[in-house]
Amino acid sequence: MPQHPSPEKAFTPPLTATADTLVAADLRPHRSTSRIPRTPYHRLFAVPGARAFTLGNLLARLPMGMFSVSAVLMIAGSRGSYALAGAVTATGLAATALVAPWTARLVDRHGQARIAVPATAFALLGSIALLLCVHYGAPDWTLFAAYAATATTPNTGGMSRARWAHLFRGDPAAAHTANSFEQAADELCFMLGPVFAAFLCGTFFPEAGTLVAGVLMMTGVLIFAAQRSTEPPPLRRTQSKSPALAPGMPPLLLGFLATGAVFGSMEVVTIAFADAQGHRSAAGAVLALQAAGSCAAGLLYGTLKPTGTPERRHLLGIAAMTALLILPLLAASLTGSLLALSAALLIAGMATAPTMVTGMSLVQRRTPESRLNEGMTLAVTGLLGGIACGSATGGWMVEHVSAPAGFGVPVAAAAVAFLIATAGVARR
C-alpha cells in the first residue's frame, strides 16, 4: 500500500528545491496560523462546551444582582422601613455565608451537577416563601426565616471558575484571561440585575423582581449542570486541610469580608439616596453604572499581561478602590445631585474588577486543587458576610443620620480592606 505524506510534511519543501519553489512554499498559508485567536477571549470560547456552560452560568448569575435589590424594594415598599429591609437581606446573606462552604464541599466531592440542582431548588422555595410572606403581610420574623432559607444557593461563579481552572491547568495566561472574564461577568450581572429588578418591581408589582429572579436562577443552573464535558471530576476523598487554614488565606478572606461591606452598604445607601430625590425607580440604573465601570475595566484587564506579584497588584487595586470611593461621598454630600452621583459611581467602579481578579487569583494559588470550589466559595462567603454587614450598617446610617452620610460607610470599609491587605503583605 503506498505511503501518503502527512499534511505537515506536504508543506515542507525538499532540500533540493529551487529558490522559486521555496518562495512559493513560504507564501502558502499554514493551517496553524489561521487558527490563532484574535484576542485572548477568543481562545477561551474555542474550547468545546465553553459557550454552553457560560450561557447557563450567566442566566444563573444574573439573579445574584436582582435578589437583594428586589428584596429591599419589596420590603421597604410594603413595610416602609429601609432598616428592616437591610436587616432581612443581611440575615439571608449571613445565612448563605455559613451554608455556602458546606455546599461547595459537597460539590467538590460529588460533582457540580449532582449538588447544584437540588441546592438551587431548595433556595427557590425560600425565595417563593419570602414573596408570599411579604404579599400577605406576614409578621416580620417570617421574612427573616424565609430569606435565610435561600442560603443553599450554589456559588455558580465559583463553579464556572473551577471549570476554567480545570480546562487551563498549567496555563497562567489563559487562567488570567478566564478570571478577568468571570469578574466582568459578575459585574455585568450586577449591572443589569438591579436595573431589571427595579424595572420589574416598579412596572408590574413589588414581588415581580423576586419571582423572575427565581425562575432565571433555576433555569440557568439546569443548563449549566447539563454541560458535563467541561465539568471537573469530583474528588471524593481528600486529606488536605480546610482552605481557610491554608497559608495566606486568613488575611485574604478578611479582606474579602471588608470588600463585601463596600458593596452591601453602597447598594442600600444608593437606593435610599435615589428615593430621597424622588427617583426610586432610577436606583437600579444608578447602581448599574458602578458595575459598568468595573465590567469595562475587567475586560480590559484580561487582555493585559500582569506585571509584578499578585500580592502587590491586589494591594494597589484596593488602594485605588479606596481613593475612588471618596468621589460618591463628595458627590452626594456636596451636590445632592443624582446625576453627579451616577458619574462618581461610574468612575469609582473602575478599580473594582482588577482588585477582585487578583484577589481570586490569590485564592486559587493558595487553595488545594481538590478543594478549589470550597476555597473560592469561602472567598464569596467572605464577600456575602461583608455585604450583610455593610447592608445593615448602611441601612442604619440612612435611617439615623442621612443618605449622603451613608456613603461614608463604603469608604471606611475599603480603608479597612487596605489595612488588612497591607498587614498580610508585610507578614508574607
- Does position 11 have pLDDT exceeding 50, yes or no? no
Mean per-residue pLDDT over the chain, rounded:
82
pLDDT digits (tens, 9 = 90+) for 244-261: 778 888 889 999 999 989
pLDDT band at residue 24 using 50, 70 and 90 as cut-offs: very low
pLDDT of residue 210: 92
CATH number of 43-232+243-427: 1.20.1250.20
pLDDT digits (tens, 9 = 90+) for 112-171: 989 999 999 999 999 999 999 998 989 999 999 999 999 999 888 889 988 988 888 878
Please say whether the beta carbons of 51 and 184 come within 8 A: no
pLDDT of residue 237: 57
Position 25, amino acid: A
The proportion of the chain whose per-residue pLDDT surpasses 70, expressed as a percent, equals: 89
Q: Where are the domains of the chain?
A: 43-232+243-427
Instruction: Tell me the three-class secondary structure of 24-54, residue by residue.
Output: HHHHCCCHHHHCCCCCHHHHHHCCCCHHHHH
pLDDT of residue 9: 37
Please say whether the beta carbons of 373 and 159 come within 8 A: yes
pLDDT of residue 22: 35
pLDDT digits (tens, 9 = 90+) for 340-396: 999 999 999 898 888 988 888 888 888 877 777 788 888 888 887 788 788 889 988
Average pLDDT over residues 11-24: 39
Question: Which own/partner pairs from 45-52 qualify as long-range (CB within 8 Å, at least 24 positions apart)?
Answer: 47/167, 47/230, 48/229, 48/230, 49/227, 49/229, 49/230, 50/167, 50/230, 52/223, 52/227
- Does position 312 have pLDDT exceeding 70, yes or no? yes
Average pLDDT over residues 32-44: 65
Give CA–CA dist 102/40, Å, rounded.
Answer: 34
